[in-house]
Amino acid sequence: MESTRALRADLFDPASLAALGRIEIVARWIVDGFMSGLHRSPRKGFSVEFAEYRPYQPGDDLRYVDWKIAARSDRWVVRQYEEETNLRASIVLDVSRSMAWSGALMRAGASGAAEPRGRDATTVAQLTKLEYAERLTAALALLLLRQRDAVGLVRFDERIRTAVAPRARNGQWRRIVASLEEPGAGRASSAADALSQAARLISRRGLIVLVSDLLMEMEEVQTAMRGLRALGHDVTVLHIMDPAERELPGGGEAVFIDPESELSVPASIADVRAAYKKTVDEVIAEWRSMFGGLGIGYEIVSTDAPFGVPLRQAFAARQMLP
Amino acid sequence: MSFLAPFYLLLGGAIAVPLLLHLLRRRIGARLEFPAARYLLRAEKENSRTLRIRNLLLMMLRIAALLAITVAAARPVARWLGAGHGPTALAIVVDNSLSSSVVVDGRPLLDQFKGMARDVLSSATPADRVWLVTIDGHVRGGTPAVLRDEVNRLEAIAGAGDPTTALARAASVVRAAGLEAKQVALLTDGQRTEWQGTPSIADAQVLVYVPNARPPANRAVTLAEARPTRWTPRGSVAARFLSHDSTTYRITLNNRTFTRGTAAPNEEVVVHASPPERGWLAGTVELEPDELAGDNVRNFAVWIGSAPGVNGLPSAGPFVKSALDVLRSSERVVDGHDIAVTGADELSTLPALITAPLDPVRLGAANRALERAGIPWRFGTRRAGDAAVRGAGFEGVNTAVRYDLVAQTGAVAETLAVVGRDAWVVAGPRYVIVGSSLTPDATNFPVRASFVPWLGSVLTERLVGEPGQVLETEPGARMPRPRWADGFETVDGQRTPLGDVLEAPSRAGTFFLTRNGRRVGALVVNGRPSESQLEQFSAKDLSDRLHAARTLVAPDASAWSSMAFRGAARRSLLETALLVALILLATEAVLIGVRPRRMA
pLDDT tens for A87-140 read 788 888 888 888 888 887 776 665 543 333 333 444 444 788 988 898 888 888
Amino acid letter at A69? I
Inter-chain CB proximity B40 and A267 less than 8 Å:
yes
Q: Is residue A181 part of a domain?
A: yes
pLDDT in tens, B24-69: 655 556 788 888 888 888 888 877 777 778 778 888 888 888 888 8
Q: Which helix (H) or strand (E) holds B100?
A: none
Same domain? B147 vs B262: no
Give the B-side interface with A, CB within 8 Å: 21, 25-44, 46-47, 50-51, 54-55, 58, 592-593, 595-600
Contact predicate A69/A132, CB 8 Å: no
Number of domains in chain B: 5
Inter-chain CB proximity A101 and B35 less than 8 Å:
yes
What's the CA angle centered on B279, arms B277 and B283, to 5 degrees?
A: 70
pLDDT of residue A44: 37
CB atoms within 10 A of CB B355: 31
Residue of A nearest to B41 (CA): A265
Same domain? A198 vs A151: yes
b/e B495-524 (16+ beta carbons within 10 angstroms → b): eeebeeebebbbbbbbbbbbbeeebbbbbb
Inter-chain CB proximity B29 and A265 less than 8 Å:
no
Same domain? A62 vs A133: no
Inter-chain CB proximity A280 and B39 less than 8 Å:
yes
Residue A179: pLDDT band (50, 70, 90) is confident
Same domain? A20 vs A61: no
Same domain? B317 vs B458: yes
If you average pLDDT over every residue of chain A, what do you get?
75
Higher confidence at residue B185 or residue A60? B185
Q: How far is B36 from chain A (nearest CA, A)?
A: 6
> In chain A, which residues have their Cβ closer than 8 Å to the Cβ of B36?
215, 245, 258, 280
Residue B146: pLDDT band (50, 70, 90) is very high
Same domain? B343 vs B402: yes
- What is the mean predicted confidence (pLDDT) over A69-88? 75
What percentage of chain A reaches a pLDDT higher than 90?
6
> In chain A, which residues have their Cβ closer than 8 Å to the Cβ of B49?
none
Q: Is residue B484 part of a domain?
A: yes
Same domain? A142 vs A268: yes
pLDDT exceeds cutoff 80 at A85: no
- What is the mean predicted confidence (pLDDT) over B124-137? 89
The beta-carbon neighbor of A256 closest among B28, B32, B58 is B32
Inter-chain CB proximity B593 and A274 less than 8 Å:
yes
Sheet holding A264-268, edge to edge: A264-268, A253-257, B30-33
Q: Is residue B143 part of a domain?
A: yes
Inter-chain CB proximity A272 and B44 less than 8 Å:
yes
pLDDT exceeds cutoff 70 at A79: yes
Q: Is residue A187 part of a domain?
A: yes
Q: Region of B410 please: left (phi>0), alpha (psi -120 to 50) or beta.
A: left
Nearest to A33 by CA among A13, A63, A62, A53: A13
How far apart CA A179 and CA A169 sit, in angstroms, is 16
Same domain? B293 vs B248: yes
Inter-chain CB proximity B46 and A279 less than 8 Å:
yes
Q: How far is A248 from chain B (nearest CA, A)?
A: 9
pLDDT exceeds cutoff 60 at A30: yes
* CATH number of the domain to which A140 belongs: 3.40.50.410
pLDDT of residue B595: 41
pLDDT of residue A185: 64
Domain range enclosing A311:
14-24+86-316
pLDDT exceeds cutoff 70 at A31: no
Same domain? B475 vs B520: yes
Q: Which helix (H) or strand (E) holds B216?
A: none
Q: How far is B17 from chain A (nearest CA, A)?
A: 13
CB-defined contacts A:B, below 8 A: 128
Q: Is residue A36 part of a domain?
A: no
How far apart CA A212 and CA A299 sit, in angstroms, is 11
pLDDT exceeds cutoff 90 at B117: yes
What percentage of chain B reaches a pLDDT higher than 90?
27
Residue of B nearest to A268 (CA): B25
Same domain? B302 vs B399: no
Same domain? A78 vs A103: no
Inter-chain CB proximity A280 and B36 less than 8 Å:
yes
Q: How far is A56 from chain B (nearest CA, A)?
A: 34
Contact predicate A317/A209, CB 8 Å: no
The beta-carbon neighbor of A256 closest among B27, B37, B55 is B37
Domain range enclosing B554:
88-215+536-569
Same domain? A144 vs A65: no
Q: Is residue B598 part of a domain?
A: no
Same domain? B418 vs B562: no
Residue of B nearest to A116 (CA): B598
Same domain? A79 vs A147: no
pLDDT exceeds cutoff 80 at A271: no
Q: What is the DSSP string of A151-192?
A: EEEEEESSSEEEEEEEE-STTHHHHHHHHHTS----SS--HH
Q: Is the dihedral of CA B563, B568, B574, B579 positive or negative?
A: positive
Q: Is residue B600 part of a domain?
A: no
Same domain? B338 vs B457: yes
Q: How far is A111 from chain B (nearest CA, A)?
A: 6
Q: Is residue A37 part of a domain?
A: no
What's the number of CA atoms in the CB half-sphere (13 Å) around residue B464? 31
What's the CA angle centered on A75, arms A71 and A80, to 5 degrees?
A: 100
- What is the mean predicted confidence (pLDDT) over B532-544? 83
How far apart CA B266 and CA B17 sit, in angstroms, is 85
- Give the lowest-confidence range in B75-84, B306-315, B538-547: B75-84
What percentage of chain A reaches a pLDDT higher than 70?
70
Q: How far is A284 from chain B (nearest CA, A)?
A: 11
Domain edge (last residue) among B431, B462, B493: B462
Residue B224: pLDDT band (50, 70, 90) is very high
The beta-carbon neighbor of B54 closest among A107, A260, A271 is A271
Inter-chain CB proximity A110 and B599 less than 8 Å:
yes
- What is the mean predicted confidence (pLDDT) over B513-522? 88
Q: Is residue A183 part of a domain?
A: yes
Residue of B nearest to A125 (CA): B599
How far apart CA A235 and CA A299 sit, in angstroms, is 11
pLDDT of residue A163: 83
Same domain? B152 vs B59: no
pLDDT exceeds cutoff 60 at B490: yes
Q: Is residue A116 part of a domain?
A: yes
Inter-chain CB proximity B597 and A111 less than 8 Å:
yes
Residue of A nearest to B40 (CA): A276
Same domain? B232 vs B294: yes
Residue B325: pLDDT band (50, 70, 90) is very high
Residue of A nearest to B32 (CA): A256
The beta-carbon neighbor of B37 closest among A111, A263, A304 is A263
Q: Is residue A211 part of a domain?
A: yes
Residue A282: pLDDT band (50, 70, 90) is very high
Same domain? A65 vs A214: no
How far apart CA B15 and CA B67 sit, in angstroms, is 7
pLDDT of residue A321: 34
The beta-carbon neighbor of A271 closest among B30, B39, B51 is B51
In a mutational test of the A interface, the residue from B22, B25, B28, B33 whose CB has the highest number of chain A CBs within 10 Å is B33
The beta-carbon neighbor of A276 closest among B39, B54, B600 is B39
Q: Is residue B493 part of a domain?
A: yes
Inter-chain CB proximity B58 and A271 less than 8 Å:
yes
> In chain A, which residues have their Cβ closer than 8 Å to the Cβ of B24?
none
Domain edge (last residue) among B462, B480, B495: B462
- Give the lowest-confidence range in A195-204, B65-74, B108-117, B224-233: A195-204
The beta-carbon neighbor of B34 closest among A107, A258, A302 is A258
Q: How far is A179 from chain B (nearest CA, A)?
A: 24
- Give the lowest-confidence range in A205-219, B16-30, B262-276: B16-30
pLDDT in tens, A222-249: 888 888 888 888 888 999 999 888 888 8
> In chain B, which residues have their Cβ closer than 8 Å to the Cβ of A254?
29-32
How far apart CA B461 and CA B471 sit, in angstroms, is 14
How far apart CA B147 and CA A72 sit, in angstroms, is 101
Residue of B nearest to A112 (CA): B597
Q: How far is B22 from chain A (nearest CA, A)?
A: 10
What's the CA angle centered on B531, arms B530 and B537, to 5 degrees?
A: 100
pLDDT of residue A11: 59
Residue of A nearest to B30 (CA): A254
Inter-chain CB proximity A256 and B40 less than 8 Å:
yes
Q: How far is A78 from chain B (nearest CA, A)?
A: 36
Q: Is residue B530 part of a domain?
A: no
How far apart CA B440 and CA B321 sit, in angstroms, is 14
pLDDT in tens, B421-452: 899 999 988 899 999 999 988 999 999 989 99
> In chain A, which residues have their Cβ closer than 8 Å to the Cβ of B47?
272, 275, 278-279
Same domain? B107 vs B178: yes
Domain edge (last residue) among A65, A83, A101: A83
The beta-carbon neighbor of A255 closest among B31, B50, B600 is B31
Inter-chain CB proximity B37 and A280 less than 8 Å:
no
pLDDT exceeds cutoff 70 at B571: no
Number of domains in chain A: 2
In a mutational test of the B interface, the residue from A279, A304, A309 whose CB has the highest number of chain B CBs within 10 Å is A279
Inter-chain CB proximity A259 and B35 less than 8 Å:
yes
Q: Is residue B599 part of a domain?
A: no
* Predicted TM-score of the model (pTM): 0.49
Inter-chain CB proximity A267 and B28 less than 8 Å:
no
pLDDT exceeds cutoff 50 at A40: no
Domain edge (last residue) among A56, A83, A110: A83
Same domain? A236 vs A276: yes
Same domain? B138 vs B245: no
> In chain A, which residues have their Cβ closer than 8 Å to the Cβ of B32?
106, 254-257
Q: Is residue A2 part of a domain?
A: no
pLDDT of residue A286: 93
| B318, B356, B590 from B348: Cα distances, Å | 20, 14, 113
Q: Is residue B597 part of a domain?
A: no
In a mutational test of the A interface, the residue from B26, B38, B590 whose CB has the highest number of chain A CBs within 10 Å is B38
pLDDT of residue B574: 78
